Amino acid sequence: MSHKPMRYEEALTVLPFLKQRKANDTKISYCYHELFQKPIQVELNTTLKILILIHLNVLRRKLSNMR
Query: Which domain, by its residues, includes 52?
Result: 8-66
Residue 45 lies in a domain: yes
- Give the pLDDT confidence score for residue 63 in this predicted structure: 76
* In-domain check, residue 14: yes
Measured on CA atoms in the order 20, 57, 13, 42, is the torsion positive or negative? positive
3 falls within a domain: no
Residue 12 domain flag? yes
Does 30 map to a domain? Answer: yes
Quote the pLDDT of residue 55. Answer: 75
User: Which pLDDT value is given to residue 30?
Assistant: 43
- Cβ(11)–Cβ(32) under 8 Å? yes
2 lies in some domain = no
Task: Judge whether 27 lies within some domain.
Answer: yes
pLDDT of residue 34: 41
For the chain (67 residues), the mean pLDDT of every run of 10, in chain order, is 58 60 43 43 62 75 75
Q: Is residue 1 part of a domain?
A: no
Number of folded domains in the chain? 1
